[in-house]
Structure 1
Amino acid sequence: MWQQTLITLRARPRGFHLVTDEIVAGLRELRECRIGLLHVWLQHTSASLTVNENADPAVRRDFERFFNRLVPQGRDGYEHDDEGPDDLPAHFKASLLGCQLTLPVTNGRLALGTWQGIYLGEHRDAGGARRVLATLQGEGHDR
């Protein structure tokens, strides 16, 4: 079984956002997969994907504060600012976290841990909708 789907995530404000449900909702075929892997590729250079805490929203707010301290906006010395002062800092953050994840699939569900969820790191002030190319590979249920 191989399936590839382009999922458009709704626009979000700057910050870290749980998108697990939105990604799963875009993958009808996931339910048919007994065992496999889901690879998700974010088609952008100013946002990121990572897996972390899915229960306490304070973790996502702390992520935003941490990365803003690590890569501050408005510092002199950045040459690339074609789209505004958040442009290059967004690229730095996206490179630090990455744009892809590979997740296990078991019995039609993502085999995430109890407290794990997929984060979209939106690093632009107005990033807009984001596209994720999801490639599912695995074995279907016996019929």
Structure 2
Amino acid sequence: MLNILVLHGPNLNLLGQREPGVYGNATLEDINRLLETEAQALQVKVSALQSNHEGVLVDAIHAARDQHSGLLINAGAYTHTSVAIRDAIAGVNIPTVEVHLSNIYRREPFRHHSYIAAIAVGQISGFGPNSYRLGLQALVHHLRENNPSG
């Protein structure tokens, strides 16, 4: 069974309270439940972790190499600033899909650049919580297409 690591970056623990006009009213718990439901439908396992600390996310990516088939990540603000997270993903060479609740290309110019995008299988943004669901579907499809026995 495919095992997907879901990483939520800084400030995503405040979803439902933080800037609902940008991020919506769904909480992080709502998103994790949505992912669990989708994982059951896809017959995969998901494990989710949220951290406001870059090093915790880097350590989780390193540990994923031996435990997970793929990575679904919303690195939050670290998307635009963290070479360390980018290098960790590149270093473990795990298929990765980047997701964002908001469309980062319709926001402030500094959000238009992602350090992760160039090493990810793909990126989905702008669909609120459905960005995660669509990202999980795309990642699982990619993994199955590229390793049919997995």
User: Which of the five TM-score ranges fits, normalised by the shorter chain?
Assistant: under 0.3
Q: Which protein has the larger Cα radius of gyration, Structure 1 or Structure 2?
A: 1
The TM-score with structure 1 as length reference comes to: 0.27
Larger RCO of the pair (alpha carbons < 8 Å, separation 6+) = 1
Per residue, is there more strand in 1 or in 2? Answer: 1
The TM-score with structure 2 as length reference comes to: 0.26
Per residue, is there more helix in 1 or in 2? Answer: 2
